[in-house]
């Protein structure tokens, strides 16, 4: 490695570092970043479930959204990195725990139980806000590099834009001109509206049914 100096002092080369709360690696892997953020996410989720174990799922969802979904630094994640999907899986498990659903319940139901929002929706929106801000910023160099990078498939910016377009089945032009970002379409959620309503009602409790019977019904309707 070439020697780089800052005010006469040699800078040390390293393969990983923490910058503004984000963990960066020289190989651009998200492994270290996700490991730390995933641990924080799971800890917050479990803390809410333990502290407010008597709360209804509706209340728990509000607490979950305000305490666990800050996703700090996610706008810089590479969405195609396999480690990022670990965070998506953790989000799936958290929603299932809140609504007392089995581990293999349909994922579209989880989105419907969260007012139509998926964790990818949060990540995609944060990324697009950052990208558009970079393109329109007052720094001419940063703006030029950002505009160019969206066409360079080797760049994380271009790969993330491509991932978002494929996930939402929209063109890059639609996305960049303000296309509405939803991992699951409103139509696909509406197809399961009756099942989602039944899950909500069962969690509220139905007179005449035991806890075990309610659990069996939740299992059946969420996996059918």
For the chain (length 224 residues), average pLDDT per consecutive 10? 81 84 85 93 96 94 94 92 94 96 93 91 92 91 91 91 88 80 79 93 89 92 91
Query: What is the reported pTM?
Result: 0.87
Instruction: Please report the pLDDT score of residue 187 as a whole number.
Output: 79
Quote the pLDDT of residue 180: 65
The answer to whether position 208 is within a domain reads: yes
Is 121 part of a structural domain of the chain? Answer: yes
**Does residue 59 belong to any structural domain of this protein?**
yes
Residue 9 lies in a domain: no
User: Residue 161: its pLDDT value, please?
Assistant: 92
Domain that holds residue 120: 14-223
Please count the structural domains in the chain.
1
**209 occurs within a structural domain:** yes
- DSSP codes of every residue in the chain: ----EETTEEPPP-SEEEETTEEEETT---HHHHHHHHHHHHHHHHHHHHHTTTS-HHHHHHHHHHHHTT-TTGGGS-TTSTTHHHHHHHHHHHHHHHTT--TTS-HHHHHHTTTT--HHHHHHHHHHHHHHHHHHSS-HHHHHHHHHHTT-TTSHHHHHHHHHHHHHT--HHHHHTTPPP-SS-HHHHHTTHHHHHHHHHHHH--TT--HHHHHHHHHHHHH-
Q: Is residue 98 part of a domain?
A: yes
For residue 54, tell me if it sits in a domain: yes
- 5 lies in some domain: no
- pLDDT of 58 reads 95
């Amino acid at each position: 490695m070439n020697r780089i100096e800052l005010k006469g002092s040699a800078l040390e080369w390293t393969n990983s570092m923490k910058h503004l709360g984000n963990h960066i690696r020289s190989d651009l892997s998200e492994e270290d970043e996700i490991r730390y953020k995933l641990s924080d996410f799971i800890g917050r989720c479990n803390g809410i479930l333990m502290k407010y174990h008597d709360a209804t799922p509706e209340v728990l969802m509000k607490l979950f959204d305000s305490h666990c979904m800050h996703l700090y630094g996610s706008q810089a994640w590479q969405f195609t990195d396999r480690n990022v999907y670990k965070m998506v899986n953790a989000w799936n498990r958290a929603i299932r725990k809140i609504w007392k659903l089995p581990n293999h319940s349909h994922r579209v139901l989880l989105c419907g139980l969260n007012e139509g929002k998926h964790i990818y929706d949060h990540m995609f929106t944060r990324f697009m806000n950052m990208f558009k801000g970079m393109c329109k910023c007052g720094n001419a160099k940063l703006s030029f590099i950002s505009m160019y990078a969206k066409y360079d498939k080797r760049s994380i910016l271009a790969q993330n834009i491509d991932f978002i377009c494929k996930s939402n089945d929209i063109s890059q032009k639609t996305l960049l001109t303000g296309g509405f970002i939803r991992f699951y379409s409103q139509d696909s959620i509406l197809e399961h509206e009756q099942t989602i309503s039944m899950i909500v009602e069962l969690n509220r409790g139905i007179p005449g049914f035991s806890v075990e019977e309610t659990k069996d019904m939740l299992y059946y309707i969420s996996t059918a």
